[in-house]
Amino acid sequence: MNNETESLVVRRKIFFTIARDSREYLQSIVPTEGLINELRRRHVDIFSFLERRWCCSLSKPSKSWTKSEDNIGLLHLTSYDDWWKGIGKKTRNMIRKAEKMGVRTEIAKANDKLAEGIWKIFNETPIRQGRGFPHYGISLDVVKQNLLFFPESAYIGAYFQGELVGFIHLVRGDRLTVISQLLSLQTCWDKAVNNALMAKAIEFCACNHSEWIMYGRMGNHPTLDSFKESNGFTKFQVTRYFLPLTTKGRLVIKLGLNRELKDSLPLSAKQSLFPIYNWVSRMRAKMISR
C-alpha cells in the first residue's frame, strides 16, 4: 500500500477532493481495491489517472470509469542519429550555432552551485514568452530545497564563459523520460541555448535507452508548442479516467466539474483567449515584482 500512496497528490477544491498519482506519466497506474479503500479512508471523492497508451494500453478498463481526452507532447526516440535526421535544417543550424558561440552543455551535479545558477535564471525577469513567470521572486533557500536529486532525476546545464545560462531537468520512469523544466537566461537567447540543451537531453536519453520523451502538454502555449514541434515532438492523445469514490464524486463528474476549465475549452476558444490571458498574467507579474 505504501508504494501506491507515497506519491499521491490530493487537491481540495471548492466542495470536493480529487487525487492523482504524481508519477502517473512515469509508471502505469491501475487502481486496486486496496488503493480505493485507502482513498475513501482519506475522504477523497474522485481518483484521476491516465492510460499510458503510448507503451502500456489498458486491456479491460472498467465501465464505471468516466473518461476524457488529454494530450502530451511526445517524442518516440530510436537513436540520436535518427532524431538528428528527423528534425529540420533550421533546428540543426541552431544547435550548431550554440556550439560555435561557445555554449557548452554537460550533466550537472545537484549542488548549491547549480541551485544558485537556477535561482539567477528564475529571477532574471518577471515575464517570459509574453506571460507572467511563476518562479520569479523565489528565494535561493526554496530553490535549494526543491533541488532534490533522485536516481531517476538528472540535470543538464548549459554554460557560457563558465556561468550557467540555462538548464534542463529530466525525470526518468518506465520506458519514458519527462522534461520537467527547460529554461535559459533571456540575455543569452541569441546563443540558441535551449536548442543546445534539447540536443544534449536527447543524447542523454538515447544513451540511457529511453524509448519515449515527454514534454508537457500541447495546445496551451503556441510559442512553446512551436519549439516542441521543431524538435520532433508531436501531440499525442491520451485517455484520462475519473473514478468516483463517493456520492459527491459521482455528482461532480456528472456535472463535469472534475475537469479544469482550460481543459474543457476547445482549441479555437483557447486561441482567442490567449492574448487576454497573457495580458492579465503580465499585469499580475508586474504588480508582484514591484
> All 3 cell numbers of residue 145?
530545497
Residue-wise pLDDT tens digits, 234-280: 999 999 999 999 999 999 999 988 876 555 555 555 555 555 545 44
Claim to verify: residue 80 and residue 223 sit in the same structural domain: yes
Domain identity same for 188 and 257: no
The residue-averaged pLDDT of 200-219 equals: 95
For the cut 70, the answer to whether the pLDDT of residue 282 exceeds it is no
What's the pLDDT at 279?
45
pLDDT recorded at residue 14: 85
Stated as kind and residue range, the H or E segment containing 181 is strand 176-184
- Which of 57-66, 146-155, 231-240 has the highest average model confidence (pLDDT)? 231-240
Are residues 168 and 199 located together in one domain of the fold?
yes
* Helices 89-100, 193-207: crossing angle, 10 deg rounding: 100
Q: What mean pLDDT is reported for the chain? A: 88
How many folded domains does the chain comprise? 2
Q: Is 107 in the same domain as 130?
A: yes
Indicate whether 47 and 100 sit together in one domain.
no
Residues 89 and 167 in one domain: yes
Instruction: Decide if 57 contacts 28 (C-beta within 8 A).
Output: no
Q: Which residues have C-beta within 8 Å of that of residue 58, sequence separation ≥ 6?
A: 30, 51
Q: At which of 234, 261, 277 does a domain end?
A: 234
* Residue range of the domain that includes 24: 2-71+238-289
- In this structure, the answer to whether residues 107 and 50 fall within a common structural domain is no
Same domain, 80 and 216: yes
Beta-carbon contacts of 179 under 8 Å, excluding residues fewer than 6 positions away, are 168, 169, 170, 201, 213, 214, 215, 216
Residues 130-169: b if buried by 16+ CB within 10 A, e if exposed: ebbbebbeeeeeebbeebeeeeeebbbbbbbeeebbbbbb
Whichever domain contains 169, its CATH number is 3.40.630.30
Please tell me whether residues 80 and 171 are part of one structural domain: yes
Record the pTM: 0.85
Within this chain, do residues 175 and 256 fall inside the same structural domain, yes or no?
Answer: no
Beta bridge partners of residue 212, listed in sequence order: 76, 176
Note whether 79 and 54 are same-domain residues: no
Same-domain pairing of 10 and 154? no
Contact criterion met (CB below 8 Å) for 24 and 49: yes
| Tens-digit pLDDT profile for residues 5-48 | 788 999 999 899 999 999 999 999 889 999 999 999 999 999 99
